[in-house]
Amino acid sequence: MAAQLSTYLENLYAIILVVLGLGFVIFIHELGHFLLAKWAGVKVEMFSIGFGPTLVSWRKGFGLRFGTSARDYASQIESASDATALAAAHDKYGETEYSLRALPLGGFVKMLGEDSGSDEKKTNDPRAYHNKPVGARMAIISAGVIMNLIFGVACATYVQMRGGPQVPAVVGGVLAGQPAYEAGVRAGDEIVAIDGNEDIWYQDLMQANQLSASGQKIKFELRRPGQSDRVKLEIEPRRAAGASAPTIGIIQGLSLDLAPKTPEGLVSNETTLDRVVAASAQGNKPVPVADQFALRSLLARDRAKTMTIVAERGIAAVDDAERGKKPVKTVEATVAPRLFVDFGMRMTLGPVAAIRGDSIAAKTGFRKGDLILSVNGVNDFDPMRLPDLAYESAGKPMSIEVRRSVGGKDEVVKLEATPDDSPIWVERTERPEPLEVPGLGLAVSIEPKIAFVVPGSPADRAKIGAGDVVTSIYAETKPGSEVVWKKPVTFDERGVTWPWIFDMIQDNPGPYRMVFERANPAVLEPLPVDGWYNPRRGLEFYSLRRTQPPQPFGTALAKGWRDTQEMALSIFGLIRNLIQQRLGADSFGGPVKIGEIAFKVAKGGGLSSFLPFLGLLSVNLAVINFLPIPPLDGGQMTFLIAEKIRGRPLPENAVAYPTIAGLVFVLVLFVLVFFKDVMSYF
């Protein structure tokens, strides 16, 4: 009961924080218009947060009203017979009505004469909006955007002054076949500069990829373990099949902090966690590990042995400086070897899909499109075991026969390569990846066509045979199992590959329902494969974090201004890439998604984490609202610029028709984005 009450209060606090925060972002925008209008001597008739029916309104002399506007004020104005009486009414009741409305999706400031149409309807009141100079009206229109940008700078400055954990641009893995892989980026590299800009974090890398233009090559500088000089590479991001944005194919680094679902004897929860500091095969002296890459080497080398994991148990904090201030307890746990599971279907080996830049395969003479026929004279090997074959031959020559097309004719070429001991099966395989062979530095495609069925296996018992082609797969549910996919995953969409399917089933026992081109659908449950060991052993780790120290105010303000500029410019880049279809619809969200993200941030980190999110949202509101689309502020500014150039107000039709068209466009776009947000949950 206490736990439920605590969760309820946390959710309530997050909801209140979201409502107040989003309302505040809108409020400061409208406040900018309001203050500049007052400064310019414009009569403001209404200041509203939100649209639709009025929930609460207030006007001087009438106090707070619920569910209705202070309409009595109108009768007082109508009864004023002359200027003196009108001035007295304004002094008594105030000229501005303040209201909070039912739909908190914006707000407005209604100024006298702002929405007057023809010249006949325009008032001669010198305090009317249209009677003010163009410069004053430009200041009023731009004031909301300026206020949002100021708030964005304030939030970004706060982030710099606070400091705290950040995700470094350490390469935890490289997706086979992606631009970074082809350029020669390796796990363990750290990106220290992008296009000459230093002070790089992982989020800067992601932003540079997403905002890259078609054909643009980004200049990267990397710090590589064991090398004193920086590695300089130029890489062109591209949008992979099934991806929503361009990328170079880098996965962020992992720490040694164990995530939940830890092996027996190790812990990870809200109050404490274990950090791996050493490991070895059981019975040997534990070897200290400084990072994830050292641990991966041990896990791969001793994958068939029971391992001893030594960990420090302390506070659940990613802040190393804070963790070091408190004593920690050293614990040991044993982790048994873990077998791969499989359906008993040997899939068809496809051609070489990618070769890592500056790799053994590249130096040996492998080419994309080569089809491996045999390894050390053996031609009936399981393609999914190619990584193991190369790892077991580390330091020894491998004889590999490939078939390649030369001058339009197929030729068999013999290659000899000496693989290294790069760890295998320690990185998650992503959806579009081919099968990586780390020891050679190449990746091969695996086709979902069955080449051989192991006798007595689940596939054999289901009467599946060679030549059958898997077209889709999804997880059946049963007590205690996790559903991997809520709907069938097909091999003809979104870049699905068999290596990704194989990786997914290792931690989710199924059973799985498969559909084939020729055979009848079958429900299969993967079984362990004798002698084939999974080095990951079910170990999961939190992402790598580093503590950014708090910055002094001057430095924080300068960096906050820089960050705000980059945020603003990034929105234009996103719009450009959406038009060029370098970004998919999944890369942006509407009010539903914004609310969902806001709730998660508010609940997960409280006010200190929510403020930076509001700053980002405020900058987004500023930029989008200043696009030259009527009836947005940017559209109004466009009209004012045209009026300034023309020397007199624009014709009524020149304003009315674009405004109606812009309003329709904004409403249609809002409905479409809202619909997309809702449908993403189904």
How large is the average pLDDT for residues 26-49?
88
| 151 neighbors 546 (Cβ within 8 angstroms) | no
Residue 59 has pLDDT above 80, yes or no: no
pLDDT digit string (tens) for 655-664?
Answer: 888 888 888 8
Closest CA to 416 of 436, 437, 435, 440: 440
Query: Widest CA span of the chain, in angstroms?
Result: 107
**Both tokens of residue 413?**
């070429």
E-strand stretches of 506-561? 512-516, 522-524, 527-533, 541-543, 546-548
DSSP conformation letters of 389-404? HHHHTTTS-EEEEEEE
Supply angle C-alpha 40, 54, 125, rounded to 5.
30
Q: How far is CA 632 from the centre of its chain?
A: 28
pLDDT at 229 over 50: yes
Alpha carbon dihedral 213, 217, 223, 224, in 10-degree steps, equals 120
C-alpha to C-alpha distance for 417 and 400, rounded to whole angstroms: 8
Distances (CA, A) of 252 to 190, 259, 510: 10, 16, 28
Give phi and psi for 290, each to the nearest 5: -90, -25
Of residues 60 and 491, which shows the higher confidence score?
491
What local confidence, expressed as pLDDT, does residue 14 receive?
81
| Spatial contact of 113 and 525, defined as CB atoms under 8 Å apart | no
Residue closest to 542 by CA, chosen among 188, 257, 168, 314:
257
pLDDT at 61 over 80: no
Instruction: Lowest mean pLDDT of 132-141, 156-165, 394-403, name the range.
Output: 156-165
Residue 142's Cβ-side half-sphere holds a number of Cα atoms within 13 Å equal to 12
Please tell me which residue in 10, 30, 236, 436 is annotated as part of the active site.
30
Report DSSP letters for 662-674, one per residue: HHHHHHHHHHHHH
Residue 467's DSSP bridge partners are none
pLDDT tens track for 311-346: 888 755 445 555 555 667 888 889 999 999 999 999
In tens, the pLDDT along 268-279 reads 776 678 889 999
CA angle 669, 674, 677 (to 5 degrees): 130
Task: Give the pairing type, strands 409-417 and 171-174.
Answer: unpaired
Burial (CB < 10 A; 0-12, 13-18, 19+), residue 552, is exposed
What's the whole-number average pLDDT of the chain? 84
DSSP states along 267-334: -BSSSEEEEEEEEEETTSPPEE--SHHHHHHHHHHTTTS-EEEEEEEEES-S-HHHHHTS--EEEEEE
Residue 421 per-residue DSSP state: -
Tokens 């790598």 belong to residue:
544
Q: Any catalytic annotation for residue 30?
A: yes
Q: What is the pTM of this model?
A: 0.81
Q: How confident is the model at residue 70 (pLDDT cuts 50, 70, 90)?
A: very low
